[in-house]
C-alpha cells in the first residue's frame, strides 16, 4: 500500500510554482468485478489524497473508481521555504499510505 513514486524538481525558486508528480501503487478496485472463482471483489479505491507543504495543506483530491488503477497525479505547488512535502492517502479499506519529498528553495 505504501508504494509510491514521487518526482519533485531538485531545486525550486521562491514564489514560483513547481511541478509535483506522484504515482501510487493501488488497484483502485471498482467493486464491479469478480475474481477467477466468481467471487465479487469489494470496492477499494483511494478516497482522499492530500499534500502538505511544511505541514499546511496545499493540494487535495477526492477520488472514485473513475480514477485509473495506480493513480497518477501531476499538479503544482508554490515554493516558499525549503522543507518537506508530505503526501497521505486513505482507501475504502481504511488503509493509509504516506510518502515524503524534500523541497529545496534557492
Contact residues: other proteins, CB under 8 A: 17, 21, 28, 30, 32-35, 41, 56-69, 71-78
Q: Which is nearer to other proteins, 41 or 95 (CB)?
A: 41
Q: What does the angle CA 14 – CA 16 – CA 17 come to, to the nearest 5 degrees?
A: 130
Q: Are 9 and 102 in contact (CB under 8 A)?
A: no
Q: Which three cell numbers stand for residue 104?
A: 529545496
- In the complex, minimum distance from the CB of residue 43 to other proteins, in angstroms, rounded to a whole number: 9
C-beta of 10: minimal distance to other proteins in Å? 19
Query: In angstroms, what CA-CA distances link 61 with 22, 47, 88?
Result: 12, 8, 11
Return the number of the residue (77 or 101) whose C-beta is nearest other proteins.
77
Nearer to other proteins, 11 or 19 (CB): 19
Amino acid at each position: 500500500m505504501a508504494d509510491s513514486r514521487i518526482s519533485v524538481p531538485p531545486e525550486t525558486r521562491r514564489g514560483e510554482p513547481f511541478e509535483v508528480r506522484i504515482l501510487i501503487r493501488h488497484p483502485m478496485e471498482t467493486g464491479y468485478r469478480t475474481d477467477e472463482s466468481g467471487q465479487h471483489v469489494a470496492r477499494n479505491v483511494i478516497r482522499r489524497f492530500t499534500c502538505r507543504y511544511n505541514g499546511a495543506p496545499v493540494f487535495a483530491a477526492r477520488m472514485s473508481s473513475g480514477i485509473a488503477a495506480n493513480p497518477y497525479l501531476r499538479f503544482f505547488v508554490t515554493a516558499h521555504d525549503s522543507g518537506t512535502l508530505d503526501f497521505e492517502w486513505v482507501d475504502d479499506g481504511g488503509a493509509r499510505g504516506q510518502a515524503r519529498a524534500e523541497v529545496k528553495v534557492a
